[in-house]
Structure 1
Amino acid sequence: MSDEPILSGAEPFFFAGNDVGVLVCHGFTGTTQSMRPLGEQIAKAGYTVIGPRLAGHGVSPAAMARTTASDWIASVEEALTSLRKTCSQIYMVGLSMGGTLSLYMAAMHPDVIRGTVPINGVVQLNSADMAGLALATGLPATVPGIGSDIKAPGVTELAYPEVPVLAFRQVYGLVAVTHDLLPRIKCPALVIQAREDHVVDPSNGPRIVRRLGSSRIDFRWLDHSYHVATLDNDLDLIGCETLAFIRSIAGK
């Protein structure tokens, strides 16, 4: 949707492996950079991994302002279609809004997604500041960004320094729809939530657990990371937990 160049480090990635596919999805205003280390861990276990770049992300805030939640979903759908060509089982892992999308896809594709792993996923924004931006008029085109909420010193997320105000409306729609779809999700779920998160209210983790329709729900608190946990102190733990979860279902 844009002819602007992709930021270095924000490119989509694909690692060929066996017939078990794992779709890893970055979050709102972020890029594939936040998911590449986890994707590499999963790929080293022998699985096929794809990390799509969501439409409007990894380019510029102006490009993002021209996209909608439907465009972000379409980016994931395209990656899913690609995985289905070679994989007999597919799992989805996502950070933040990527976690929201992992839940959305599990609800909308119950015959395809075998397991979902939302990491600091959001199904309720619970933010008066964000709500005040969603529908108001006369606001600036952008507001300060929300990236790099990372506890580990010296680590920076590749994310927009500014957030298009128009995009907040799209987030609210996606989050609300996904929240109401949670009871439809029947596949196993591993819900991972940081206890201290300055972007997404940590109550989202338990809320997801309560509303899921799955018969198997594993829940894991993170004690040493903030919001961008896939670049933080708990990366190895997230990788181990995710791999154990997938292996327990896939059988390999």
Structure 2
Amino acid sequence: MTSTTSPTLVPGAEPFSADGGRTGFLLSHGFTGSPASMTPWGKHLAGLGHTVRVPRLPGHGTTWKDMNKTRWDDWYGEVDAALTDLRACCDHVVVAGLSMGGCLALRLAEQRSADVDAVVLVNPAVNVARFDIKLVPVLQWLVPAMPGIGNDIKLPGQDEVGYDKTPLRALASQLKMWKATRADLAAVTQPLLVFKSDDDHVLDPSSVELIRAGVSSKVSELVPLHESYHVATIDNDAQLIFDRTATFVAEHVGTPDD
């Protein structure tokens, strides 16, 4: 793993890691979020005996100004290193991601197909129809940040430990990652499980539509989430995500570790 704990790390944003059986899970959080959105899922999987990595993406969990110094290849480099770590100790690896983490998971499946056995996405982000987002490549040179998009959660009392501002240079880089990932979606052949919230105040439906139309996966399942907003991994449908993922992996990757 390449990330280290920063002196300015916000409490709750720490990465999570657990060593277990020969089936590994790589869980990636979203843009301006932190491992806090994925760690409960990771702990659930670890409790089932699996090996788990929940990395903290560079520039996250500290300050939005730190994040504005990072680019998408930094975030991809972190999950790429985590995948290499898991492949060294696991027979099978499932990559999963929330929002931008879903884009990173897809990119891993595209670039390292032999190392990824299945893909699980929760409200994945590879596109957005908002007009102001189209202006970001120019706006990034005029203002450093826009209002934040974090904590879109229906369940009271939950916190993804994210930023209250959206760093625009980092966002402009994310748009480039989206474009690159969309262009290579046909390279995704692994079994695909997608969770999509009915009520999502961060993303419109276009990302899920583009992904499902673009991949080459013979198995592609869509599960609607009726009681959660964007950060569904720590919302009302979290247990549904956990349970359905376990069933999907058992059916399409293999039985639980012997």
Listed as ranges, the gaps of 5+ residues in structure 2 are none
Return the alpha-carbon distance in structure 1 between the equivalents of residues 226 and 183 of structure 2.
28
Correspondent of 1:111 among 114, 119, 128: 114
1:222 Cα deviation from its structure 2 partner: 0.8
What is the TM-score normalised by the length of structure 1? 0.96
Q: Does 1:30 align with 2:33?
A: yes
Give secondary structure in 2 for the equivalent of 1:250. Answer: coil
Amino acid at match of 2:62: V
- The aligned residue for residue 90 of structure 1 is 93
In 1: Cα distance, 2:191 partner to 2:46 partner:
21
AA aligned to 1:251 is T
1:230 equivalent to 2:233? Answer yes
Equivalent runs, 1:150-189 vs 2, <5 Å: 150-189=153-192
Does the 8 Å contact 1:192/1:220 carry over to 2? yes
Query: 1: CA distance between counterparts of 2:18 and 2:141?
Result: 45
Residue 251 of structure 1 corresponds to 255
> Residue by residue, what CA displacement relative to the aligned partner does 1:96-117 show, whole Å, maximum 9, x if unpaired?
0001111111011110000000
Q: Quote the Cα distance in structure 2 between the aligned partners of 1:211 and 1:4.
A: 42
SS at match of 2:218: coil
The offset of 1:146, in angstroms, is 0.5
Please name the residue that 1:239 is paired with. 242
Q: TM-score, normalised by structure 2?
A: 0.93
Unaligned stretches of 5+ residues in structure 1: none
Q: 1:159 to 1:137 in 2, by over 3 A?
A: closer
Paired residues of 2:139 and 2:168 also in contact (CA < 8 A): no
**How many Å apart are 1:137 and its aligned residue?**
5.9
**Per-residue deviation, residues 53-81 of structure 1 (Å, max 9, x unmatched):** 00111111111011010000001011112
Q: Name the % identity.
A: 37
CA distance in 2, matches of 1:134, 1:225: 31
Q: Which residue of 1 aligns with 2:49?
A: 46
Structure 2 equivalent of residue 77 of structure 1 = 80
Question: In structure 2, do the counterparts of structure 1 residues 114 and 137 end up closer, same or farther at CA, with 3 Å as the change threshold?
Answer: closer
- The range that moved more, 234-243 or 159-168, is 159-168
- The residue type equivalent to 1:168 in the other structure is L
Comparing 216-225 with 133-142, which one deviates more in the overlay?
133-142
- Once superposed, what is the RMSD of the aligned Cα atoms? 1.5
Question: Helix, strand or coil for the counterpart of 1:135?
Answer: helix
SS of match in other structure, 1:55: coil
Does residue 19 (structure 1) correspond to residue 16 (structure 2)? The answer is no
Q: How far is the alpha carbon of 1:156 from its aligned partner?
A: 2.4
Match of 1:66 among 69, 75, 93: 69
Q: Indicate the SS of the match to 1:143.
A: strand
Q: Provide the aligned length of Structure 1 versus Structure 2.
A: 252
Looking at structure 1, the residues matched to 164 and 139 of structure 2 have their Cα atoms a distance apart, in angstroms, of: 21
| Moved segments of 4+, more than 4 Å | 1-4
Residue aligned with 1:117, SS? strand
Task: Identify the match of residue 149 of structure 1 among 147, 152, 155.
Answer: 152
Shift of 1:140: 2.0
Is residue 126 from structure 1 mapped to residue 135 from structure 2 by the alignment? no
Mapped contact 2:32–2:150 kept (Cα < 8 A): yes
Q: Does 1:206 align with 2:225?
A: no
Q: 1:70 aligns to what SS in structure 2? A: helix
